[in-house]
Amino acid sequence: MSRHLAAFCNFLVLTLLAPMCVAQFTVSDNFNRANGPVGLGWSVWGNGAQINNDELETFGEPNIAGGIQRLLDVTFPLKFSFDFNTATPTDGGWSIGFNSPAGGGQGSANGSEVGVYQFDGSRPVCISFQTSSGQMFQCASVVSGQRTYTATAQISATVNADFSVKVTIEYNDGLLPASVKVNVPSPVGALTTSQGDYLILGNSDGDFGPHNFDNFKLSLM
């Protein structure tokens, strides 16, 4: 277990965020607390974030996304999930980065050992990864049934040790199909080299939003 993971597990024990700090562990945050600063050890990056009505509310602006980050280096494979909704469905997307430098860059996938992101619900799910030539990106094909996020969707995914990613999107908008599955294949030439010690979560947008998250969960497998 890494020093940052061990420290985060100890932190979670103190803050009752549902830890299971053994070979397999789960950390979660339902953001159910007073409006205002995110707190509980999270800091903000980019155009920022706050708690509003028991959700994580994140903001973007042209060329700058926004969200939250904390020290938490991880190993793969892992699973993550969260609920997501946006005030701007045609330009409302999410992003998550693992073993990243602080700050998240323009989006939280940028600069990570591996990141997973989507610019809006109708566009491809992509990964970012590091190679000997620098950061590269790989996207899955858009699958039948993908659409913009007009209701609170649930995003759940597995990131495998080879950085292939399997994503399930539950739309909860009353339309069919109710869900889709998107698979991003393992990238060629990816380096398994940590770029930093941060877990970074946020939007992927140049649109203010807000873009909201809830019921975040991360589990090592």
**What's residue 15's pLDDT?**
40
**What is the distance between the alpha carbons of residues 174 and 201, in angstroms, rounded to a whole number?**
27
What pLDDT is attached to residue 12? Answer: 46
Q: Are 94 and 65 in contact (CB under 8 A)?
A: no
Average pLDDT over residues 147-173: 98
Residues 6+ apart with CB under 8 A from 16: none
Reported as a single tens digit per residue, the pLDDT across 24-47 is 578 899 999 999 999 999 999 999
What share of the chain in percent tops pLDDT 90? 76
pLDDT (tens digit, 9 = 90+) per residue, 176-193?
Answer: 999 999 999 999 999 999
3-class DSSP string for the chain: CCHHHHHHHHHHHHHCCCCCCCCCCEEEECCCCCCECCCCCCEEEECCEEEECCEEEECCECCECEEEEEECCCCCCEEEEEEEEECCHHHCCEEEEEEECCCCCCCCCCCCCEEEEECCCCCCEEEEEEECCEEEEEECCCCCCCCCCCCCEEEEEEECCCCCEEEEEECCCCCCCCEEEEEECCCCCCCCCCCCCEEEEEECCCCCCCEEEEEEEEEEC
Write down all domains in the chain, each with its CATH number in brackets: 29-220 (2.60.120.200)
Rg (CA), the chain: 16
pTM, full prediction: 0.89
Query: What pLDDT is attached to residue 218?
Result: 97
Q: What is the pLDDT of residues 92-144, one digit of tens each?
A: 999 999 999 987 555 567 789 999 999 999 999 999 999 999 999 999 999 99
Q: Could you tell me the pLDDT band of residue 207, with boundaries at 50, 70 and 90?
A: confident
Please give the Cα distance from 117 to 123 (Å, whole number): 10
- The predicted pLDDT at position 214 comes to 98
**The pair of three-digit structure tokens given for residue 29, joined into one six-digit string:** 């945050």
Determine what percent of the chain is predicted with pLDDT higher than 70: 86
Give Cα 65 to chain centroid, integer Å: 13
pLDDT at position 143: 98
